[in-house]
Structure formats: structure tokens, C-alpha cells
Chains A and B, each alone.
Chain A
Amino acid sequence: MEEIWNGFVQALGLIASRDPEVLEITRRTLMISVSSTSIASAISVPLGSLIHFNRFRGKRVLVSVIQTLFSVPTVVVGLLVFITFSRAGPLGELDLLFSPPAIIIGEVVLITPLILGLIISALSGLDRAVGETAISLGATRLQMVLLSLREAKFAVLAAVIMGYGRAFSEVGLALMVGGNIRGFTRTLTTTISLETSKGNIELSMALGIILLLIALAINVTLNRLQQR
């Protein structure tokens, strides 16, 4: 109990004093999670629309595969990204391993199936009449797709929020491909992991509280967008 209280007090201290390392780690965490979510969404929205609105052989199988990938262990993705971008691997030339872009790439791979599957689900939940009415009124296919996304806005944004949550809370992958390098690839979650294993419980708690506060702030913002 004392530990929790101390952690809380320490957290407030760190925030109030604007400790530079905490700020830096926070900034990086935000940058990585927002970037990966944005990229994953930019891929998933068009791709999801394409898959949903077209009929093709194996569509059901594809959707099943996507949904299976929801629960791919993050360390598996981490391993794949590691061996791909390692100097010994096929994309080693890019010198991306142990840098923030590697984490972003890994997170994009991780959350794209999630956002994609949920967007397909969101569009499937729409009344068929939405698309038909639009087509009937003379919309081109693209206009119809945009309208459908608008009509399913709530569920589409929910998909993005879920994806963000997964990216933001990522540890294993960030450790494996980022290397948890101080000043370069540390995120709030990896730092908590490191400090806890070293016994710095109070510091970890402080960071944990900051992490939760940020998660709350971001979610409130996205929720407001959702409600419009």
C-alpha cells in the first residue's frame, strides 16, 4: 500500500518537475503509437472497404485469417521484424533495427489486422440498404464507399481506438526490435518493464500512472470525435 502511495506521489513529482527524461520517453511513446496507428488506419480503411464491398473467391477465408491475426502474439511479430531488419536479414541494409522506425513498422504489422478486421466488421454491420440507396441515387462506387464509412463512423473509429490501444501498450515487440536504448528507443512501457525487473517499483508505478493518464486523454479525445 505504501508502495502505491509513494508511486503516486513520485508520479506527480515527475510530472510537475517536467523531468526531461520522462518527457522524452513520453514524447517518443506518443510519436510511435500515433504514427503506427495512423499508418495502420491509412492502410486498413481502403483495404477493408475493398474487401467488404467486393465479392471474390476465398473472401470468407480471408476474413477468417484476418480475425485469427487479431491474437497473434506480439513477440512473434517482434521476432519476424527482428530477423527481417537485422543486418543479417533481407532488409538489413536499411539500418532500421534498434531505432524507433523499427518499432513503428512492427506495430503497424501488429495492429493492421486488428483495425482491418474491425473495419470489415463495422461495414458488415451496416444495413445493405445504405449502399444500395447511395448507388440508386447515382453515387459512384467510391462515393458509396465514403458514405458507408461515414454511416459506420462510430464502429470505424472504435476500430482505430482499439488499434491505438494495442500499439500504445506494446512491450514485447518494442523491446525486441527497439532494444530499449536509453535516449533513443525507450517507451513508457519498455521503461516500466525494465525498471520493474530491476526493482525500481516506485519509478515504474510513477511511469505507469503517467501512461494511464495519457491513455485516458487520448481516448477522451477520440471519443469526442466519435460522438460528433
Chain B
Amino acid sequence: MPILQTMNLDQGFGGRNILSDINLSIEPNEVFVIIGPTGSGKTTLIRLLDMLDRPTGGQLVFFGTDVTFSRPLRLAARRRIAYVQQKPLVFTMSVFDNVACGLRWRQEKKEVITEKVESVLRLVGMLDYRERSAKTLSGGETQRVAVARALVTEPEVLLLDEPTANLDPISVTKIEEVLGHVIDAKRTTLVMATHDMSQGQRLADRIGVMVAGRLVQIGKPHEIFMSPETREVAEFVGMDNILPGIVTGKDGDLATISVHNSTIEAVTSYPDGEMVLSLIRPEDITLTVTPAASSARNTFKGNIVQMVSLKPLIRIEIDCGFPLLVLITQRSSDGMGLSIGKTVYCNVKASAVSIIKRWTY
């Protein structure tokens, strides 16, 4: 039975809809990551899941019980959930007292509290700070305390809103370590919002992509990144090459697509005549200076118009009649002696091309 579900959840203020028709079903001990650009409504959704706000429409079901409207049911559910905010607020007291709050409110015994708090502080590496005033901590330290504070109550569901955003790399590592530990223990369901795709890819069992208040795709990380279902998802997951075209021929699942004045071969189930978008990741294109005898079915000849260094990689824009963005290592680029104006050949495997339907309005 899913531990958490939302049905047709809406949230709006003053006539504007921030969230529309959110449907989620999260299984116990699952790691569900919500990714999406800033402003897509991730925080609003997480707040609804923590029942800090009431939705303007739809239902929220926790542990099998509809908690949308009942205050006592919400309190009961809330004690089994913990939430780490994007910019967590610590109270004006010591680190120890901050973390102990939740337990004290649940009237835990003093020895139990001490033991649990110290254990969780050790986990996040903040045990030495326990007498420090929490207000004097740095951003990363505060975040760790917030995570500790959430974990100490041993919640069944842990909600996190951008837990590593704006943190120094060491804190990011530490927190992901802690999250990893929590995930491995297999006792907690995680619902996490982030705009860091690689983080999502690393940690998630499933990903939900949110764009403009809607969940546009839910699936395993691999599916999201390899087979985005809409243009927005594609853009978000970094498929920088989006080429409009039309299917001109089909041979089984292999399609020939006319793109500008070239053709692309790709694997898709769309039929002949379908208007489609061909999606290619920059890193899936290989460059050669001579027409290579490679296994790639697609080769486009073009001129380099721009080169941007992203050490140790380099992003190259090539004009093949249509623009293609390619990402290769600086070493390869130097090795081939690439420079602006040079003619190169772009090679893409048919399997590396994703096809989605194109809507023209």
C-alpha cells in the first residue's frame, strides 16, 4: 500500500494556480525525487505534503488515511513525518536543544533523548557542536543540524526541499552521505525536491519532473534521462539538441526523419508522417575530422562556429545547416586540432536519438 498519495492536488493563490492536478503514489521506503526548474512549484508541493498549507483542491492520503481536512488526523500523521526546509530555521538555543525539541514535545524520557540526540549528531558530524548556540552556525552546519533534528524523531517519511542547494562542497558530501545512510537503512521513505539532476539521478528510485506546477513525467531515473516525454523535460534533463522534423519512412521500429535538409535515423514507434522532435544529448555526439567509418548511422557535416571551455570539457557549436551542440573533452578537441571555422563530422547513433511528438500550435 502506498505510504503517501495525492489525488488531483491543486494549489492556488488569488486566482493563480501554482500547482495543478498533482497525482503521486509513493511506496514505503522509496526514494522519490522531484526535479524541476526554480519556480516550478516544488517547494509548494513539499509544503502541502508536510501539511503546512491546505490545498485548494484534491486530496492527500497518508498511511492510507485521508488527512486533507481533519486537524487531529493531520497531527497524528505529522508526527510520523519530518521536513527539512530549503533554508532551515534553527531556534535560539544550543544545537543539542534544537535537535531535542521534537523528542521533548513527544514527552520522551531524558536519558532516551540524550542517547538519541547524541547518536544523530554523531551521524551528521556535529556532535562537538552540541553546546554551541545554533544561531552561530554556518549554512552547511545549520543544514546538518536541521537534518539531524528531522532524523532524531525516526520519521517514516522524510521530506527534503533542496537539501544541498547553496552549500559548500564538503557539506554537500556530508549530507548526501547521511542521506545515503538513511536510504540504506531501509526504514524511511524519502521525498526530495532538487534542481540538481545528477543528485536526483544518483539517489532516486523514481523521479517526478515538475514544470510550471505540473508533474509532466514520472519514471525511473534512466527513463527520465533517456526518454523524456515532453520538450520541457528534455530541456530540463539537458538534451540540448532539439530538432524539429517529420517522419518520412518506417522500417519496423527504425524511422527516417527529415530534419532541415538532412535525415536522422532513430528508433521510435511513431508512424510515418508524424511531426516529431529529435532529441540528442551533446555528450552523445562524437566528432571526427574525416567522415568516419563509425557505427553511427547518422553523420552530419558542418563548421565549428563557437567553442566554450567548460574545463575539463569543451562545448562546441557546429552549424550543419541546423545547430548542433557537442560536448567533448578538451584533450580530444586539442588532439583533433579543432578550431573555429574548421569542418568536422558529427556522428550520432540511432539509439542515442530520442523522439517525442511535436505539437505545433
Contact = CB atoms under 8 A, between A and B. Distances in A.
Q: Do A and B bind each other?
A: yes
Interface of A: 127, 129-130, 132-140, 143, 147, 150-151, 153
Given A132-B52, A143-B105, A137 B89 contact: no
A204 B101 CA distance: 53
Contacts of B225: none
B68 to A, nearest CB: 17
Given A132-B52, A147-B91, A151-B91, A138 B85 contact: no
A129 B106 contact: no
A48 to B, nearest CB: 19
User: Max chain B CB contacts within 10 Å: which of A130, A132, A136, A139?
Assistant: A136
Interface residues of B, number: 19
Nearest to B102: A137
B153 A127 contact: no
Contacts of A147: 91, 101
Nearest to A154: B92
Interface string B59-92: 0000000000000000100110011010011011
Closest 4 CB pairs of A and B: A129-B89, A137-B102, A138-B79, A136-B83
B91 A138 contact: no
A129 B86 CA distance: 11
B229 interface: no
B105 A133 contact: no
A151 B134 CA distance: 13
Given A127-B89, A143-B105, A150-B92, A137 B149 contact: yes
Contacts of B101: 134, 137, 139, 147
Interface in B95-116: 101-102, 105-106
B89 A138 contact: no
B232 interface: no
A151 B83 CA distance: 20
B50 interface: yes
Contacts of A127: 89
Nearest to B52: A132
A130 B102 CA distance: 14
A74 to B, nearest CB: 36
B91 A136 contact: no
Interface in B22-67: 50, 52
B105 A139 contact: yes
Given A138-B102, A138-B106, A138-B153, A133 B82 contact: no
A151 B153 CA distance: 22
User: Max chain A CB contacts within 10 Å: which of B78, B85, B105?
Assistant: B105
A140 B89 contact: no
Contacts of A138: 75, 78-79, 102, 105-106, 153
27 contacts: A129-B85, A129-B89, A130-B91, A133-B85, A133-B89, A135-B52, A135-B78, A136-B82, A136-B83, A136-B85, A137-B82, A137-B101, A137-B105, A137-B149, A137-B150, A137-B153, A138-B79, A138-B105, A138-B106, A138-B153, A139-B101, A140-B75, A143-B105, A147-B91, A147-B101, A151-B91, A153-B92
A151 B50 CA distance: 23
Nearest to A127: B89
Contacts of A132: 52
A136 to B, nearest CB: 5
Contact of A130 (B82, B89, B105, B149): B89
B13 to A, nearest CB: 15
A225 to B, nearest CB: 15
A137 B52 CA distance: 11
A72 B235 CA distance: 64
A212 to B, nearest CB: 33
Given A129-B85, A132-B52, A138-B153, 12 more contacts: A130-B91, A133-B85, A133-B91, A134-B101, A136-B52, A136-B83, A136-B85, A137-B102, A137-B149, A138-B102, A147-B101, A151-B92
B48 to A, nearest CB: 13
B89 A136 contact: no
A30 B339 CA distance: 88
B222 to A, nearest CB: 33
A130 B82 CA distance: 15
A188 to B, nearest CB: 37
A134 B149 CA distance: 11
Contacts of B91: 130, 133, 147, 150-151
A127 B91 CA distance: 11
Contacts of B52: 132, 135-136
A200 B82 CA distance: 69
Contacts of B150: 137
B230 to A, nearest CB: 33
Nearest to A132: B52
Contacts of A150: 91-92
A86 B88 CA distance: 57
Nearest to A139: B105
Contacts of A153: 92
A120 to B, nearest CB: 20
A84 B149 CA distance: 54
